[in-house]
């Protein structure tokens, strides 16, 4: 799964039932599932679906009671078949997370048995469980079962450690396409419906089962045979009607990614077919075995699509297909090891995508993502990558930046230290040992250590996996040596943090001479060769920050135009970390921004400016300092934009390299949104007017979101209302999403208040509601409106709208910067989050971010203003 966070709908459970000893974590080992037979009637045009489920089980000992899972299912009949007879059962949901108690009329004997259920349930309206969405004039249905939402579609033992074959039958409207994990083996008329049967699946956990039903457009192809797979692999791209003209790209490019993965893993794609399925509300993607579901914007694109969209396609497809081995073929035994699935998939996603299209510069995104994770990991409130999960309500906390960004970077760091070939050998050893079964993180560590012949690999990796926090390495020259010291990083306002020591694979470049060592003590030394600027974290693959003496910072900043992208990003992040810790002066940040704009990598060129702009967006800069910051941004980035040229028309810069195209997009955002350059804004506004007037060639998709935002900022409520209506009627997820965000982020209070008034509009999707509150809150002039709405409505939204992004919603107030407001937010949201039962860690992190920003402003605000006021 790529960057998805899930909520559950709530069910009010009688107090007497809640008082019982209900297993909200792992189920008792009374029974173990052996196989499932799922027979569902799915008509997306109706509000409910129905099903018959049979589960073959092995019963450990005779029992009158059995716990399993089911959530909000209306079960009309439940029974067991055992010992040649039938035993009636009473089905009762006893917890809102979907724990069910089966009470049998007489003891269920030990041995083989079959549990059977007839039921129906409501479709969800967001990407959780079996959900439906209206696109155009038709409804479509998809599933999203990770982490604990399979239980919303069928009774089950909904845990990753239970892997069984599934036999699936779907009865659907006659003109609908119906997809599941297995290949379709036949159809038969069933009244006015059609009954679809599928091949029995490989052993799967419940969270990897999938269905999709609707009048989809489908394009078909194959992945040609490879040395690892002697026969072609059937491939389909599936999307809602009207998008067939943008499905050819995925059909053409997916095979290369599959082949690269087969080569890396040294084995064939683990399943007999591959369907790549688009959904307009996923917000990410899900690695269902052989039936992967993606957000529309990830899968539906063409050769003219923006560089960033192509980057996302390559990385996320490689991530999800990497899961087919690492997660689907070999599955965690329990959720406390789901981090390994996602961390590894994040790493392999960037690695393989970079091989797929090197010119797209995808690989550096892993470093950028890791640096963002450090901001979260540096908080006092948090968790290590690997953390015991005792309650199912805690599972969602594992799907965060710590798992993806930090975990992926730790994998990259260990691979860099071990060497590519040795690390690959360890991965292949792990997969061969545990294929078609379950494994733990310790199993993976053991395979790596065996491949490397070095047990210190396990020590180093476990230190980063089992400990919270970001190491900061202080690097000082001591003759021909470097004096090194490590501690846990803490920003202003964090107070005392626990003393922590890691085993850090530390590498430094000194004028082209690279040296590496393992730092496993609070202080150490290393001898260096060469002469030139010190570049700690050589290559940028390390998960740590660094600080330098003043002269070495000057030399490193002076070298900015020549630094490789990863090293440049790591240097910028460490400099800003030093500033937030109270060390580096604000003038250094400006100096660095002006130096790094000359770096040839698009990410490094704008990173400093984006961080400066964030000071403005969060209100850290004020008065004359704010005006000076805008002048600094214009003086730094407008000449860069002029040098590469800017024409908003579609395809005007198609001959530029993808990275230059991306750089132009980022520069346009900086100079229009953050520096308010009137000439560039006017150019975008003219193009947007022509585009909305019917001239599709007037505006390149890369500038669509920025141009629409300028339109609403300048035009106010009339433009916002017109754009909203157009978005609600659109089947183009890319346009619709950018239009909604443009309206929300207008910064105009009258528009924000009007949009809040539209939150009850039935055409708005749950994910769009989150985007609206986020956009309003992230913009200073409208921030109070967004905060007031969220604090007044969080629990209602979470429960009634089945939002699939509850943790994302709780991150929205992070845009606030005030010690006082941190307390207000905590008082308003904490009781609602406690009542909802999920999201406590995310809220605590958000409150700390708000308080930390306020502490930074109080401690260094005048100094920051002074740096720009001159």
User: What are the pLDDT digits (tens) for 564-609?
Assistant: 999 999 999 999 999 999 999 999 999 999 999 999 999 999 999 9
Torsion sign across C-alpha atoms 191, 193, 194, 196: negative
Cα of 432 vs its chain's centroid, Å:
28
Does 319 count as an annotated binding residue? Answer: yes
Predicted pLDDT at 800: 61
Model confidence pLDDT, tens digit, residues 646-664: 999 999 999 999 999 999 9
Q: Is the pLDDT of residue 222 over 50?
A: yes
Topology adopted by domain 332-466: Neutral Protease; domain 2 (1.10.390)
Task: Give the pLDDT of residue 366.
Answer: 95
Instruction: Judge whether residue 41 has pLDDT over 80.
Output: yes
Least confident of 230-234, 471-475, 482-486, 835-839: 835-839
19 pLDDT higher than 50: no
Considering 159, 320, 369, 826, which one is annotated as catalytic?
320
Q: In the numeric block, which tokens belong to residue 819?
A: 């010690």
pLDDT at position 13: 39
Q: Specify the CATH superfamily of domain 231-325.
A: Neutral Protease Domain 2 (1.10.390.10)
Cβ neighbors of 198 (< 8 A, separation 6 or more) are 167, 168, 169, 170, 180, 181, 182, 183, 184, 185
CATH of domain 1-215: 2.60.40.1730
Domain with CATH 2.60.40.1910 in the chain: 471-560
Q: How far apart are CA 666 and CA 664, in angstroms?
A: 5
Count other C-beta atoms under 10 Å from residue 12's C-beta: 7
β-pairing, 166-173 vs 193-198, is antiparallel
- CA torsion through residues 436, 392, 345, 299, sign: positive
**Which among 193, 151, 155 has a CA at the least distance from the CA of 171?**
193
pLDDT at 829 over 70: yes
- Lowest mean pLDDT, pick from 9-23, 324-338, 361-375: 9-23
Model confidence at 399, in pLDDT bands (50, 70, 90)?
confident
Q: CA 600, CA 653: separation in Å to the nearest integer?
A: 17
Q: What is the share, in percent, of the chain residues with pLDDT greater than 70?
A: 97
Q: What is the pLDDT of residue 236?
A: 98
Residue 420 Cα distances to 353, 517, 753, angstroms: 16, 18, 54
CA distances from 161 to 203, 208, 257, 288, 331 (A): 11, 12, 29, 16, 7
Phi, psi dihedrals of residue 486, rounded to the nearest 5°: -120, 150
Residues of the chain with CATH 2.60.40.1730: 1-215
Cα–Cα–Cα angle for 286, 292, 296, nearest 5°?
A: 80
Tens of pLDDT along 200-219? 999 999 999 999 999 999 99
Mean pLDDT across 289-303: 97
320: annotated active-site residue: yes
- Residues 115-139 have a mean pLDDT of 95
Query: Confidence band (pLDDT; 50, 70, 90) for 802?
Result: very low
Average pLDDT over the chain reads: 93
The span from the CA of 278 to the CA of 261, in Å, is 22
Q: Grade residue 125 by pLDDT with cuts at 50, 70 and 90.
A: confident
Of 47-51, 283-287, 595-599, 793-797, where does mean pLDDT reach its minimum?
A: 793-797
**Distance in angstroms between the alpha carbons of the first and the last residue of the chain:** 48
Task: Specify the domain boundaries for CATH 1.10.390.10 within the chain.
Answer: 231-325, 332-466
pTM: 0.94
Say yes or no to pLDDT of 870 above 80: no
Q: What is the pLDDT of residue 20?
A: 59
Specify the range with the lowest mean pLDDT, choosing from 7-16, 225-234, 487-496, 730-739.
7-16
Query: What is the architecture of the domain spanning 471-560?
Result: Sandwich (2.60)
Alpha carbon distance 770, 386 (integer Å)? 28
Assign 21 a pLDDT band (cuts: 50, 70, 90).
Answer: confident
Write out pLDDT tens, residues 517-566: 989 999 999 998 888 899 999 999 899 999 999 999 999 999 999 999 99
């Amino acid at each position: 799964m790529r960057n998805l966070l899930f909520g559950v709908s709530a069910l009010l459970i009688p107090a007497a039932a809640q008082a019982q000893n209900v297993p909200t974590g792992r189920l008792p080992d009374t029974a173990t599932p052996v196989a499932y037979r799922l027979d569902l009637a799915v008509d997306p045009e109706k509000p409910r679906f129905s099903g018959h489920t049979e589960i073959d089980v092995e019963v450990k000992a005779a029992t009158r009671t059995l716990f399993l899972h089911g959530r909000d299912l209306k079960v009309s009949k439940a029974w067991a078949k055992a010992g040649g007879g039938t035993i009636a059962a009473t089905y009762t949901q006893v917890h809102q997370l979907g724990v069910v108690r089966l009470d049998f009329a007489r003891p269920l004997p030990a041995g083989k048995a079959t549990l059977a259920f007839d039921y129906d349930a409501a479709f969800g309206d967001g990407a959780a469980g079996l959900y439906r969405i209206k696109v155009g004039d038709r409804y479509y249905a998809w599933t999203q079962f990770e982490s604990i939402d399979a239980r919303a579609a069928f009774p089950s033992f909904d845990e990753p450690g239970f892997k069984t074959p599934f036999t699936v039958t779907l009865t659907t409207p006659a003109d609908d396409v119906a997809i599941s994990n297995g290949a379709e083996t036949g159809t038969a008329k069933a009244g006015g419906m059609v009954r679809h049967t599928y091949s029995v699946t490989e052993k799967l956990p419940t969270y990897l089962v999938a269905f999709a039903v609707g009048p989809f457009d489908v394009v078909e192809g194959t992945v040609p045979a490879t040395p690892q797979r002697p026969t072609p692999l059937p491939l389909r791209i599936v999307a809602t009607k009207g998008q067939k003209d943008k499905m050819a790209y995925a059909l053409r490019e997916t095979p290369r990614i599959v082949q690269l993965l087969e080569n890396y893993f040294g084995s064939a794609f683990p399943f007999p077919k591959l369907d790549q399925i688009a959904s307009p509300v996923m917000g990410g993607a899900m690695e269902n075995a052989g039936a992967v579901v993606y957000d529309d914007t990830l899968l539906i694109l063409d050769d003219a699509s923006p560089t960033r969209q192509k980057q996302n396609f390559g990385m996320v497809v490689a991530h999800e297909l990497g899961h087919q081995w690492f997660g689907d073929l070999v599955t965690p035994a329990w959720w406390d090891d789901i981090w390994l699935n996602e961390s590894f998939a994040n790493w392999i996603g960037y690695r393989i995508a970079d091989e797929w299209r090197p010119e797209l510069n995808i690989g550096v995104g892993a470093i950028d993502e890791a640096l963002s994770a450090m901001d979260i990991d540096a908080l006092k409130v948090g968790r290590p990558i690997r953390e015991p999960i005792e309650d199912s309500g805690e599972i969602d906390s594992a799907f965060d930046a710590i798992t993806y960004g930090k975990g992926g970077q730790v994998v990259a760091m260990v691979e860099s230290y071990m060497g590519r070939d040795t690390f690959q050998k360890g991965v292949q050893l792990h997969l061969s040992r545990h294929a078609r079964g379950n494994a733990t993180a310790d199993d993976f560590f053991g395979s790596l250590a065996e491949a490397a012949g070095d047990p210190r690999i396990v020590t180093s990796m476990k230190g980063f996996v089992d400990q919270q926090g970001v190491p900061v390495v202080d690097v000082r020259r001591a003759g021909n040596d470097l004096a090194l010291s490590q501690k846990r990083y803490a920003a202003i306002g964090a107070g005392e943090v626990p003393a922590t020591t890691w085993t850090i694979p530390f590498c430094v470049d000194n004028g082209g001479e690279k040296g590496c060592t393992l730092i496993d003590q609070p202080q150490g030394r290393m001898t260096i060769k060469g002469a030139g600027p010190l570049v700690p974290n050589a290559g940028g693959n390390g998960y740590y920050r660094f600080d330098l003496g003043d002269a070495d910072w000057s030399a490193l900043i002076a070298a900015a135009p020549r630094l490789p992208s990863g090293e440049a990003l790591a240097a910028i992040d460490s400099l800003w970390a030093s500033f937030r810790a109270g060390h580096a002066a604000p003038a250094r940040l400006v100096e660095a921004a002006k130096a790094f704009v000359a770096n040839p990598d698009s990410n490094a060129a704008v990173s400093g400016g984006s961080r400066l702009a964030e000071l403005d967006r969060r209100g850290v800069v004020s008065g004359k300092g704010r005006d000076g910051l805008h002048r600094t941004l214009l003086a730094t980035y407008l000449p860069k934009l002029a040098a590469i040229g800017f024409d908003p028309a579609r395809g005007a810069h198609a001959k530029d390299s993808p990275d230059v195209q991306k750089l132009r997009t980022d520069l346009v955002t900086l100079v229009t949104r953050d520096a308010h350059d009137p000439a560039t804004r006017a150019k975008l506004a003219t193009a947007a007017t022509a585009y909305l007037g019917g001239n599709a060639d007037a505006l390149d998709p890369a500038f669509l979101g920025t141009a629409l935002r300028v339109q609403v900022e300048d035009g106010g409520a009339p433009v916002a209302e017109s754009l909203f209506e157009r978005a609600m009627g659109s089947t183009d997820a890319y346009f619709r999403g950018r239009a909604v965000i443009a309206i929300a982020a207008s910064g105009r209070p009258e528009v924000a208040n009007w949009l809040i008034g539209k939150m009850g509009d039935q055409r708005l999707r749950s994910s769009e509601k989150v985007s609206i509150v986020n956009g309003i809150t992230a913009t200073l002039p409208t921030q109070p409106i967004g905060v007031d709405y969220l604090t007044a409505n969080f629990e209602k939204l979470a429960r009634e709208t089945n939002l699939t992004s509850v943790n994302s919603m709780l991150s929205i107030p992070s845009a606030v910067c005030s010690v006082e407001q941190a307390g207000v937010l905590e008082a308003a949201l904490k009781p609602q989050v406690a009542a909802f039962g999920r999201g406590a860690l995310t809220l605590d992190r958000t409150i700390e971010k708000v308080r930390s920003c306020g502490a930074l402003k109080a401690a260094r605000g005048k100094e920051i203003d002074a740096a720009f006021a001159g």
